Structure 1
Amino acid sequence: MKTKICGMKYPDNILEVGALLPDYMGFIFWEKSARYFDGLIPDLPKSIKKTGVFVNETVEKIIEKVQKHDLQAVQLHGHESVEFCLNLKTQLAAGIEIIKVFSVADDFDFSVLEPFEEVCDYFLFDTKGKLPGGNGTTFDWKVLEKYPSTKPFFLSGGIGLDEMDAVNEIIKTHLPVYAIDVNSKFEIEPGLKNLEALQCIAIKNK
């Protein structure tokens, strides 16, 4: 099980969290976010995949950020179409992963995923809320029992220490859970992660 720590903002905190060796570290390039990142990413261990999080951004802007920050993954957290994802995929350098986010409620229609199968590397399921992410609430994970695909996915949405037992139960099922994505439940304030809390989960779980 891999781990992604998202919503990083402050250089010193980034380095402290980086020392825990999460598999992915997310930087939000959406200006309306309280966790908006507008600096330079400090040097991190090569094993950490730096992930840019974008919301309805242009392909050109995404490519610019990928090149500026040497990103290894792109997370699309808006209403990006299949055509948009395909266009982006053809312009990204080989090996850069595309993670397409879907906001899930109890009535989520999994059939919308099928057209995206060929244009992204992973899905990410987050809780449908007022903001594109970082709402700090979980969705009913039982809805994932209807997941019709074998494409691996990130599980996100209000995951904190209190949710880890439930997460581990999901991991034991047939579902292709690739990684957990944590953010607001491990924060002191938006963008500032609680190192002690993060040490309580299996960051390096390989």
Structure 2
Amino acid sequence: MRDGENIRQVSKLGVDYIGMIFWEKSPRNVTMIPSHAGIIPDTTRLVANSETPSCYQRVGVFVDEMAQNIITRVVNFKLDVIQLHGHEEPTLIRNLRSTIDPDLRRGIQIWKAISIMDRNSVAIYKQYEDCIDAFVFDTKCTCIGGSGKQFDWSVLDDYDGEKPFLLSGGIGPDDAARIRDFKHPKMMGIDLNSRFETEPGMKNVELLKQFLTQL
């Protein structure tokens, strides 16, 4: 998300996290603007006004981004969570955490997205379990996120890791009953993206509200 008023409206629904995508190739990209002090957030679109509740956490989504650029956005946007959606190596993730926590952002969480095509895809989590806080299981596709397509959730029966995960990938307004029926001891929530948008980066607040009441 990148519009301050839209963030304010969605936050009133009691969501736990609000995501901001920092990837130039994405139509949902949150931009930065130059200033005499360096590069700062485009607050005209992103930062909601003082009426916005602070009950949600800010998630920054990055795709194979340089560590310094991630750190800059963590500081400037006061991110609570870093979600890595590319081919980041565990060594980079460990170095990133040690640089940020505790000096720049104490308690920063790092999530790793795993692209799921079949049961074999699930096993990739083992490479990252000792360096991240949670996984995001998303649909494998040629694009990076926002595909609107789902994977077969039953393959997550093979996930026996210790870290919690978010279920992602094409979840839409008609999936409330399926989500209620889906059970996994490590599922911490769901990621709602393109199928709840009026345009890239803008959530349909009424559609979200109706959906959340059905869960």
Do the structures match in fold with TM over 0.5? yes
Letter in 2 for 1:75: Q
Give CA deviations for 1:126-167 in whole Å, capped at 9, x if unaligned: 001121100001001111111121311010000112112111
Structure 1 residue 109: Cα displacement: 3.3
Structure 1 residue 196: Cα displacement: 0.6
Structure 2: stretches of 5+ with no match in the other structure? 32-41
Q: Normalising to structure 2: TM-score of the pair?
A: 0.86
CA contact (8 A) 1:53 1:74 kept: yes
CA contact (8 A) 1:15 1:42 kept: no
Alignment CA distance shift 1:176-1:107 (3 Å): closer
1:49-198 equivalence runs, <5 A:
49-93=57-101, 94-170=106-182, 173-198=183-208
Give CA deviations for 1:148-192 in whole Å, capped at 9, x if unaligned: 21311010000112112111111xx24310010001010111111
Q: Normalising to structure 1: TM-score of the pair?
A: 0.89
User: Of 7, 16, 19, which aligns to 1:14?
Assistant: 7
More RCO (CA 8 Å, sep 6+):
1
Report how many aligned residue pairs link the two structures: 195
CA contact (8 A) 1:21 1:45 kept: no
- In structure 2, the partner of 1:5 is none
Tell me the secondary structure at the aligned position of residue 199 of structure 1.
Answer: helix
Structure 1: stretches of 5+ with no match in the other structure? 1-7
Structure 1 residue 9: Cα displacement: 2.2
Distance 1:63 1:155 in 2: 26
Distance 1:98 1:174 in 2: 21
Distance 1:106 1:153 in 2: 17
- In structure 1, the partner of 2:37 is none
Greater Rg, structure 1 or structure 2? 2
Letter in 1 for 2:12: A
| % identical aligned pairs | 41
Letter in 1 for 2:8: L
CA RMSD of aligned residues (A): 1.5
Distance 2:20 2:129 in 1: 24
Distance 2:98 2:21 in 1: 22
Distance 1:20 1:111 in 2: 35
Tell me the secondary structure at the aligned position of residue 175 of structure 2.
Answer: helix
Tell me the secondary structure at the aligned position of residue 28 of structure 2.
Answer: coil
Structure 1 residue 117: Cα displacement: 1.1
Distance 2:82 2:184 in 1: 26
CA contact (8 A) 1:110 1:148 kept: no
CA contact (8 A) 1:135 1:184 kept: yes
Give CA deviations for 1:40-89 in whole Å, capped at 9, x if unaligned: 33244222101100000011100000000111111000000111111111
Tell me the secondary structure at the aligned position of residue 63 of structure 1.
Answer: helix
Structure 1 residue 112: Cα displacement: 2.2
